Structure 1
Amino acid sequence: MSDWIRESLHPDYAQSLRVDEMLYDSKTDHQRLKVFQNGTFGRVLTLDDVVQTTEGDNFIYHEMLTHVPILAHGAAKRVLIIGGGDGGMAREVLRHDTVEHVTMVEIDAGVVDFSKEYLPMLSAGAFDDPRLDLVIADGAEFIRHTEGGYDVITVDSTDPIGPGEVLFSDTFYGHAKRALTEDGVLVTQNGVPFLQGQELHNTMRAFTALFVDATCYLATIPTYAGGPMAFGWGTDGLARSTPLEVLQGRFDATGITPGYYTPQVHQAAFALPGYVTKLLP
């Protein structure tokens, strides 16, 4: 098994990916980064041997965390990304010509640097877009002190272990809400609820206390194994009730050709199976 990476995120469940070629393996001040080639998924990025993103299926994750809140909001001009050092989230946000400014806060400069070199297809030039303001800082500290005014905040975090743990706290969510505009939308990465149910439950408990509209939506991403992934959704506005025909009109106006997102998938993603609904407060 020396040519395989075994992921150890869950205590009693694991997946393995074949390493056809190890392209990068180095430890930064925060975590161990690896990039390797896999026959099915192309280039794969892991942090401490936990899969973060892949060349093959990253479009699903990035499209659903980006286009759902932006198109539901309908007038998002300022977007904040917490995390997302590989540049995939910035790539998708900047495909919206109506977005005027994107702040991206990444704790680890090493992730950005090696992503530019080893995973340039993920950012696809996003780091060179003049609308992007890249800030190397702790996302929790940044959100604590920011003046806010963001229409959409996307938390593209690692799992709640190590440096990503603070991004799942009630305090962080409270500061994020303060940084939103009146009808702004906060979306978060909340893991695979079949295996990480407590993670989603804790976030939804916090969101329910903070927002008028608090729920989650789902997408199936092959390398995040164990069932569909959940994305937290919180807003005091009416974005989630945007009619399908309005979503379709906004989507058509973008000229974007996604690989996963459609307005129909957007609406259907909020239809939750019973076991997920039970995790909501």
Structure 2
Amino acid sequence: MTDMTGWSVERLHADYAQALKEDRVLYDSKTDHQRLRVIENGTFGRVLTLDGVVQVTERDNFIYHEMLTHVPLFAHGAARRVLIIGGGDGGMAREALRHPLDQVTMVEIDSGVVDFSKEYLPSISAGAFDDPRLDLQIADGAEFIKATAGGYDVIIVDSTDPVGPGEVLFTDHFYGHAKRALAPDGILVTQNGVPFMQGSELAGTIRAFRSLFADASCYLAGVPTYAGGPMAFGWGSDGDARQVTLPVLQARVAASGLEFGYYTPEVHLAAFALPGYVQALLRD
């Protein structure tokens, strides 16, 4: 295909691209930090891109948001306070607030992402911005994590790729500050891209995690619009929550009364079973 008129082409990688047909362009504007676009696509519904890179879609966002939220929360089993860095579309807050938490603090650098997500992608947040337990802070996540008093049971880094505003969220300094902000046996989870295409991103995070945490690893989930293989999520903790057993997870999920489109206790445990090429990245 040579004529890409009417297609949104993502060129995140130097020698690989993916494209989504634009049935309609709903929003196209540049903020102080990045270019925001919302398009409609016949398969994925409304799609948000930042600087041309797909961030979230109506149809498949449940996979990403469920796995980055419910894996640490059900593994922990007693979380009361959660910190989300990024996540301006509100999807991560939506899933976290399904749990009986006391507070979810969400730190988003770009108020424009929040504002137009409420208007153009309301199904992603599904009312999360109106929940009184949500403390929304428009601030630089790296600066916030340095200044916070901490005490968070789970920290979720829902960042963009490590370019532009999101780059600082992949540094050793940021991870060190995040560990300090955790309560004892707290859990830090991070978005780490598609390791088949972005292996150095995951390897760098795990290298940093191993210098900080007693337990450092990652887990995987397949998200259709994050192309190139399964997506990786970094895991760091000084506790043993990753060793939670299937019966315990099943009991916690049953007691919650929650239902999911992707997450299950079985998927939770299986997500930590890593293919050989990912294990090699962690070794290297």
TM-score range (shorter-chain normalised) is over 0.9
Structure 1 match to 2:216: 214
Per-residue CA deviations over 1:206-263 (Å, capped at 9, x if unaligned) read 0000000000000000000000000000000010011110001111111111100000
Structure 1 match to 2:178: 176
State how 1:73-222 maps to structure 2 within 5 Å. 73-97=76-100, 99-222=101-224
Rounded Cα–Cα distance in structure 2 between residues aligned with 1:169 and 1:252: 38
Rounded Cα–Cα distance in structure 2 between residues aligned with 1:130 and 1:279: 41
Rounded Cα–Cα distance in structure 2 between residues aligned with 1:83 and 1:51: 15
Query: Is residue 12 of structure 1 aligned with residue 11 of structure 2?
Result: no
Structure 1 match to 2:57: 54
Aligned residue identity for 2:268? H
Rounded Cα–Cα distance in structure 1 between residues aligned with 2:258 and 2:120: 25
Per-residue CA deviations over 1:34-86 (Å, capped at 9, x if unaligned) read 00100000000000000000000000000000000000000000000000000
Rounded Cα–Cα distance in structure 1 between residues aligned with 2:189 and 2:127: 24
Deviation at 1:123, TM superposition (A): 0.2
| Runs (4+) off by over 4 Å | none
Rounded Cα–Cα distance in structure 1 between residues aligned with 2:116 and 2:157: 21
For residue 105 of structure 1, give the secondary structure of its aligned residue in structure 2.
strand
For residue 14 of structure 1, give the secondary structure of its aligned residue in structure 2.
strand
What do you get for the CA RMSD once the two structures are aligned? 0.4
The TM-score with structure 2 as length reference comes to: 0.98
Aligned residue identity for 2:264? T
Aligned residue identity for 2:47? V
Rounded Cα–Cα distance in structure 1 between residues aligned with 2:157 and 2:257: 25
Rounded Cα–Cα distance in structure 2 between residues aligned with 1:62 and 1:263: 16
Rounded Cα–Cα distance in structure 2 between residues aligned with 1:243 and 1:192: 27
Structure 1 match to 2:240: 238
Aligned residue identity for 1:150? Y
- Percent identical: 76
